[in-house]
Amino acid sequence: MSHLLTAPHRWMLAAAGPDSGGIKVFQVVALAVLAPLALLSVHALIFGRRRRMIIPAAVLVAACFVTAAPALTQRGAELLGIGRGADLVAYLTTFAVIGCYFLVLYSHRRLRLQITELTRQLALAQLDSQRPRSGG
Amino acid sequence: MPNWKHHDIRIAYVIPAFNEGDVIASVIEGLRRDGPPGDVVLIDDSSNDSTSAAARAAGAIVLRHPINRGQGAALQTGFDAALRLGAEVIVTFDADGQHNPADLFHFIETLLTSNVDVVLGSRFVEGSADIPAARRVLLRAALLFTRLTSRVNITDTHNGLRAFRADALRRIRLTEDRMAHASELLDLIASAKLRYVEVPCHIRYTDYSMGKGQRWSAAPRIAFDFLLGKMMR
């Protein structure tokens, strides 16, 4: 049992890198928030078949990895030729924000269309009570 | 009335209106007096003046949106209503009195006798002498945008005077509630491969109609709404 509890801790220490100075309180708190949200979004994506969850799920899973293993972002940045891990995180955050913005816009548009259709049906219901009169 | 031969064709005029109480009665009366005979369907987009009452008194069928949804939404409501009324030709007509009902004879005659699904009004087919300079530049910019995004070969993109055959209108559906509907309509016409032709129409520019018209400041928003809608459609 104790092995199960300490295993993630060891993995995080290793992933944080040799100069990380161990796990910070911030990482533990952030992961306590992010990990359940990531699990929920992945669950909704896979089992709920909600395709629009793909961006939130990707962002949350990535956030978990970056928080747990900051050294990974540095390696990723070097691999992409960006240089600093913090820059990679900043760029990815920008893309994630843009993605989320369009996601909200899409939801807003769907809702707007539904409101318009409801308004339209209420207006068209008035048609039955009015006899058409020919012009001219 | 010119020698009108199409009394057997059922025509519906769709007029979207918002706070047009001052002019709507004269617009409808002019349409009924000077245009080809047809049902006038006015969509009151939740005006807070006497638009509905004035239009009804002038002889229009009035459908009122309980909340304001924009001109595009009102137009689509009008299309649905016209089709339910059994109209064979559906004409869109502006509520601010800038269109000339006498143009409609040529409009509808062209639709019924040519091999087309849609007739679009244009201020530029026979020159553009009457158009204020600022409005002309705005319309040219809109034209360039529409040609780039929808590949529709026309001369006037934002003209509210249009005539549709009913079966053509059933093949398109507006989703842009607000002013991007004009660009969307052309895009839908192109997507549905409807046959269209432009015919000249005369616009009466008054202080009232200019005050109701689109401004430069609205252009970026309209372009954004249209592109976003096109992407999500």
Residues B114-147 pLDDT 10s: 999 999 999 887 765 567 777 778 878 888 888 8
- Phi and psi (nearest 5°) for B202? -110, 125
A120 within a domain of the structure (yes/no): yes
Q: Which neighbouring-strand residues pair with B12?
A: B39, B90
What chain B holds in terms of domains, given with CATH numbers, is 11-232 (3.90.550.10)
**Which DSSP category does A129 fall into?**
G
A134 within a domain of the structure (yes/no): no
Q: B85 in contact with A at a CB cutoff of 8 Å?
A: yes
Lowest mean pLDDT among A7-16, B22-31, B88-97, B217-226: A7-16
Q: A9 in contact with B at a CB cutoff of 8 Å?
A: no
Residues B53 and B67: their CA atoms lie apart, in Å, by 17
A37 within a domain of the structure (yes/no): yes
The pLDDT score that the predictor gives to residue A5 is 47
- With beta carbons under 8 A apart, name residues in chain A contacting B31: 135
Number of domains in chain A: 1
- With beta carbons under 8 A apart, name residues in chain A contacting B37: 134-136
Tokens representing residue A54 in the block: 């793909």
- Whole-complex ipTM: 0.88
C-alpha dihedral sign at B209, B215, B218, B224: positive
A87 within a domain of the structure (yes/no): yes
Identity of the residue in B1, B66, B84 whose CB atom sits nearest the CB atom of A127 = B84
The tens digit of pLDDT for each residue in A82-126 reads 888 889 889 988 988 898 888 888 889 999 999 999 999 999 999
B84·A113 Cβ contact <8 A? no
A98 within a domain of the structure (yes/no): yes
Give buried/exposed letters for B51-65 (b at 16+ CB in 10 A, else e): bbebbbebbbbbbbb
Domain that holds residue A104: 2-127
Residues B224 and B230: their CA atoms lie apart, in Å, by 10
The tens digit of pLDDT for each residue in B31-71 reads 999 999 999 999 999 999 999 999 999 999 999 999 999 99
Q: Is the Cβ–Cβ distance between B103 and B201 less than 8 Å? A: yes
- With beta carbons under 8 A apart, name residues in chain A contacting B35: 135-136
pTM of the predicted model, to two decimals? 0.81
Measured at the CA of B125, the angle between CA B124 and CA B126, to 5 degrees, comes to: 90
CB atoms within 10 A of CB A80: 11
